A and B are shown apart, each in its own frame.
Chain A
Amino acid sequence: MNKGRQFALETENLSLWRGGDQVLHSVNAAFEHGAVTAVVGPSGGGKTSLLRCFNRLEEPDQGRILLDGVDIRTLEPSLLRRRVGMISQQPVLFEGGVRANLTYGLEHVGRDKLEACLRAAGLAPAVLGRDATALSVGQAQRVTIARALVRDPAVLLMDEPTSALDKDAAARIESLVGDLLEGGLTVVLVTHDLRQARRVADRAVLLVDGRIRAAGDFDEIEASWPDFREGDAGA
């Protein structure tokens, strides 16, 4: 592990058990500042659990996670979660307007900022006045991205953000992930689809059965997971 270099996120010997089954096995991984790192691997390999540990929706049984070199357990969970935003597989919007969803739990957010975040998520500012429950799934997912951006996160966790979307909507989400980096954001993208990871991410971590099999560029990942070439790793 690159000694002396500080990463946006690092895990040290992270292990997680659930109901007697070990989900993560001494996971050591590092996620660079201002880059998109994909966590790839087959379904059930622990990718989502790892992601959920980053904002303490899951609590590892062993090891620790560092955010900019600071153990996240020393941070107030609600403050940690505003610094480490998360996009889920299925977009969850609350009843009410898009504006109310974007400003949920926040005070005094200006219209300019809301519109800028909507644009960054690939949505027109006019969406601000719409009913959140009337949006398509693709639009709803982009509103959740805008909602995360309103909080000025340092890290954005994306858990299979296109799995509930059709091909066109998925392509639109993929194309905007790279744009998110302009503000210095660090993105961790969980996907079972190595092709998508290659299109979107700078590097990847391969997680199989809760263990890191490889980390680095996609040539290394492919070499450690030959199935990828044969199309077993996702459409």
Chain B
Amino acid sequence: MKGVLVSLSLVALAGGVSYRLHLRQERDLLIATIRACAQLFVVAVTITAVFESLGLSGLFLVVMFGAAAWTSGRRLRGVRGAALIAGASIGVSSAVALIVLFAAGAFPLEPQFLIPIAGMLIGNTMTATSLAGGRLRDEIESRRAEIETRLILGDPIPTALMTYRRRSATTALIPMIDQTKNLGVIALPGAFVGMVLSGASPAEAAQVQLVVMFMLLGAVALAGMVTTALVARAFVAPGDRLVPPSIEAAGEI
């Protein structure tokens, strides 16, 4: 508790400086601080209950997954079946990683491991799904003439869309690749810091951090691939052509 109060004094200091310099950030700082305290309090209470039951853990994961699919689905607005695509991408990539990790015994199948690991997976694959799907939607909409030229020249539609799928999947993967490449160099990662602060040796913390990073890298890459495959499919109409743009977007008919 003492630590919290000390760290809070830093926020108060920032608020004071803002007031003194007329930066008008005091209100935002106050709201953010209150929200963070309230949200973390609720999460702590909930997780304490959830950690005591595998069934409740499952329910908690379903809620987390539903929220992630809904959030990412909204980011993919304009894509047919956006929420389903987001749900499939987040669900498949997270589930594959969870099954592999827990079936292989990398972590014991207990709520205190399942919840945070699944939370990280769902959060990261949600971001990857939004990034990859949003980028591919934008590419297809803005490069329609180019894609149709590829079709006109005899490309089957999977080939015509491959360049854009590749670019979009890469977009989703770049943040994770950069994080993995710079692991421990630019910033010390959360799991590592948390374990060391909890008294684990740096070697143990490093080992767990590597498991987490590789797990996330694999899941995010998979999410990018699944998302781009499904989003591309949503833009394909029978007869190897693109789904017509909306009437508003269409020019000459």
Partners in one complex: yes
Could you tell me the distance between the alpha carbons of A57 and B144 in the complex, rounded to whole angstroms? 11
A32-68: CB near B (< 8 Å → 1, else 0) gives: 0000000000011010110000011111000000000
Give the shortest distance, in Å, between A121 (CB) and chain B (any CB). Answer: 15
Whether B62 sits at the interface, judged by CB under 8 Å, is: no
Q: Which of B137-178 contact A (CB under 8 A)?
A: 145-146, 148-157, 159
Q: Which of A80-98 contact B (CB under 8 A)?
A: 81-82, 85-86, 88-90, 92, 94
Could you tell me the distance between the alpha carbons of A91 and B237 in the complex, rounded to whole angstroms? 24
Nearest A residue to B159 via CB reads A105
A19: chain B residues within 8 A (beta carbon): 246-247
Could you tell me the distance between the alpha carbons of A171 and B148 in the complex, rounded to whole angstroms? 26
Could you tell me the distance between the alpha carbons of A58 and B241 in the complex, rounded to whole angstroms? 7
Whether A128 sits at the interface, judged by CB under 8 Å, is: no
Q: Is the CB of A82 within 8 A of B154?
A: yes
Q: Is the CB of A78 within 8 A of B156?
A: yes
Whether A147 sits at the interface, judged by CB under 8 Å, is: yes
Q: Is the CB of A77 within 8 A of B252?
A: no
Q: Which of A89-116 contact B (CB under 8 A)?
A: 89-90, 92, 94, 104-105
With contacts A18-B253, A46-B253, A49-B253 taken as known, whether A81 is within 8 angstroms of B151 at the C-beta atoms is yes
From A18, A73, A92, give the contact of B145 (CB < 8 A).
A92
B107-147: CB near A (< 8 Å → 1, else 0) gives: 00000000000000000000000000000000000000110
Q: Is the CB of B253 within 8 A of A23?
A: yes
Whether B239 sits at the interface, judged by CB under 8 Å, is: yes
Whether A21 sits at the interface, judged by CB under 8 Å, is: yes
Whether A151 sits at the interface, judged by CB under 8 Å, is: yes
B148: chain A residues within 8 A (beta carbon): 57, 88
Q: Is the CB of A81 within 8 A of B239?
A: no
Whether B3 sits at the interface, judged by CB under 8 Å, is: no
Could you tell me the distance between the alpha carbons of A79 and B150 in the complex, rounded to whole angstroms? 13
B247: chain A residues within 8 A (beta carbon): 18-19, 21
With contacts A58-B241, A59-B237, A59-B239 taken as known, whether A88 is within 8 angstroms of B154 at the C-beta atoms is no
Q: Is the CB of A88 within 8 A of B149?
A: yes
A104: chain B residues within 8 A (beta carbon): 150, 153
Could you tell me the distance between the alpha carbons of A168 and B199 in the complex, rounded to whole angstroms? 79
Q: Which of B228-253 contact A (CB under 8 A)?
A: 237-242, 244, 246-247, 250, 252-253
Give the shortest distance, in Å, between B179 (CB) and chain A (any CB). Answer: 31
From A57, A73, A94, give the contact of B151 (CB < 8 A).
A57
A88: chain B residues within 8 A (beta carbon): 145, 148-149, 152
Q: Is the CB of A44 within 8 A of B252?
A: yes
Closest 9 CB pairs of A and B: A77-B240, A19-B247, A92-B149, A82-B154, A56-B239, A86-B152, A78-B154, A78-B156, A59-B239
Given contacts A48-B253, A151-B153, 4 further A-B contacts (CB under 8 A): A49-B253, A58-B241, A78-B151, A90-B145
Interface set of B (CB-CB < 8 Å, partner A): 145-146, 148-157, 159, 237-242, 244, 246-247, 250, 252-253
8 A-B residue pairings within 8 Å (CB atoms): A43-B252, A57-B148, A59-B238, A78-B155, A79-B154, A86-B152, A88-B145, A92-B145
